[in-house]
Structure 1
Amino acid sequence: MAKAIRINAHGGPEAMTLEDVDVAAPAVGEARIRHTAIGVNFLDVYFRTGLYPAPNGLPLTPGHEAAGVVEEIGPGVHGIKVGDRVAYASAIGAYTTARTMPADKLVKIPEGVSDEEAAGMMLKGMTAEYLLRRTFEVKAGHTVLYHAAAGGVGLIFGQWAKHLGATVIGTAGSPDKVELARAHGFDHVINYREQNFVEEVAKITGGKKCDVVYDSVGKDTFEGSLDCLNPRGLFVSFGQSSGPIPPMNVGLLSQKGSLYMTRPTLFSYIGTRAELEESAGALFDVVKNGIVKIEINQRYPLAEVAQAHADLEGRRTTGTTILIP
């Protein structure tokens, strides 16, 4: 038996309950792993509330990333063995002490990266990887704006973008978060509660604005973000913590400078085994080499997941949050 968080009806943090569950023996192509640390992400909130539909309906065990140890493998599994430390970020059902899952979703954790780091960085770090290297290939000389700079993805993004040579502008909602973002690669951080971020971006850039805006906030920042882009700039919407972007007339993009707009997801960027290995490998490299430091600022026992979600939604967290099984 294992312990797992289950959602039997969509709702607030209280909708999650800790239950006993059976863990099946691995079938062909599967592995059973014992979790040592589990990542917490805003994506999990979307599934808990029902904003994103559960792939197999309810009941649902949420969570998308974790690290652990392989305890058993089924027939036809190659590349991992019993005892390996592994991590993943693309299989819903992570909020549990143990699980059986497709082995091709797992990547081995290299020496120099801890289980807690791996659990807290796979989804967020590979998100930063595709945003910086593939959705828009950030290079020296680019100016980028990133909203929610003190969040889990933001702190990884800032360090990595600075390493690539970009001028990195961020927004955050408190003096403490502003300072945290500055300490993680952001050249300029705007307190959006006290300053108009559109006006501040114009000042910082001398009116030239940004090549790309990365926005996981959504409704509250959408229109202002478009005003921060230079002609033919790219608006990247990859989340909606303040609510979904309202319906828009696509002509708005032409009015504001022939802008581009995209709504990517991590799962479209790691859809093949080769893409997964490339993304995870790039992430592990920058962490092992000290380019990106993964700071775990909140730890909760698995049984206290409701508090973890409440703190996340209340914007009382910074950096990475993990659950300890």
Structure 2
Amino acid sequence: MSINYKLVIDDLRTQLGDHPVTDDPVRRFAWSTDASYFRIVPEVVVHAETLEQVKLTLAVARKHDAPVTFRAAGTSLSGQAIGEGILLILGHDGFRKIEVSSDAKQITLGAAVIGSDANAVLAPLNRKIGPDPATIGSAKIGGIVANNASGMCCGTAQNSYQTIASAKLLFADGTELDTGCEKSKAAFVKSHGKILDALTELSHMTRHNTVLADRIRKKYSIKNTTGYGINSLLDFTDPFDIINHLMVGMEGTLAFINEVTYHTVNEAKFKASAMAVFHNMEDAARAIPLINGESVSAAELLDWPSIKAVTGKPGMPDWLSELPALSAILLIESRADDDKTLDNYTQDVTAKLAG
């Protein structure tokens, strides 16, 4: 059955007013792409500043069976922030909560908080959030969690999956759940007990399927940031813990993320970086096992096309243009809480690469 979007738009305006809702063709076209190369023009765009506006939008979507796509900053390269039907965009002022615990070990963030803003608050406390995507200066927390946006330094140890403490969620049927609140969880048991039972059973089945369990463990032992965090079915037995971690990487398909509480991680006071140049990709790859250890916080490989792409750009060294074809570079970073340790780390890396 086709969807009558005129009725959808009329209902949205009735519920939300005219200002948050637009079906103007030019504005819809403007919101039809994100950082990816895809283009999907939505039928209507809603800018939501409050959770109530999100709830009302989902209620209209349910009534008309219309699809909804959630969008934060739209920095992902894979098209997750565009879609047909209703495009619900986090507003400019809402979902901006930042609250740090007294010991700075946790931080609660609204979905529209930019990652670097969270880190700016934590910086004087020598803490930061775990995930560190390259777009952290513009990416918002809702998208960082929903896309499992990781970075060069957080790897598989400090990403959203490993550092999420709890989340405030809104499901498609309008039900709210705070996985960090016992009262909220008790209410969810009464209203959605069947979902919790199904998750518990699914976890049990996965654990006892040796082939599947081994495959999941192997897949998630590396930096696997695509799709649902189904490793939660093995890592946790409490269904609320499973829900909490399934939110990481679900790309808006399971719930709307209102707030997230992260366990913060240490922010080293001293850092050093190096560009190590190799004749080819093979030599660069062989260097990784040599430098792997506590001396190196992160290493990222630049192949020849990557090198050519940044040659001549502001801030890049002039000698990039002099490298022979098919060269490769390792960007290496060391971190420590004191300068002596950092000096030891850099000497260790330099010695390991000497050959």
User: Shorter-normalised TM-score: what interval?
Assistant: under 0.3
- Scaled by the length of structure 1, the TM-score of the pair is 0.24
Larger Rg: 2
Greater strand share, structure number: 1
Give the number of the structure whose residues are more often helix, by fraction. Answer: 2
Q: Which has the higher contact order (CA 8 A, sep 6+)?
A: 1
Q: Normalising to structure 2: TM-score of the pair? A: 0.23
